[in-house]
Amino acid sequence: MLTLAILETEFCNPGTEAIFVWGEAGGGSSKPTVERHVQTEIRAVVSPCPYSEVARTSYAPGWRTTQAWPMPH
């Protein structure tokens, strides 16, 4: 499973484990087209962006590629 998250800088290195809460409080939206759910903790491992190594190493230099790293803070 892939997900996007915003992390503090000290947790952004690839390989770092993070635990976050998935889902909205109270089961989420009351809209009938949105499935009700229970908040749960998810364990994740930080991976580089983009996830595909080919995209990171072969695409034209830019924010998606390793040629642009390290990113300025």
Does residue 59 sit within a domain? yes
Determine the structural domain holding residue 54 and report its residue range: 9-68
Quick one: pLDDT at residue 71? 52
DSSP assignment string, 13-54: STT-EEEEEES-GGGS---TTS-----EEEEEE---SSS-HH
User: Based on the structure, what is the number of domains in the chain?
Assistant: 1
pTM above 0.85, yes or no: no
- Does residue 73 have a pLDDT over 70? no
Q: Is the pLDDT of residue 60 over 80?
A: no
pLDDT digits (tens, 9 = 90+) for 8-49: 888 888 899 999 888 888 888 888 888 888 899 999 999 877
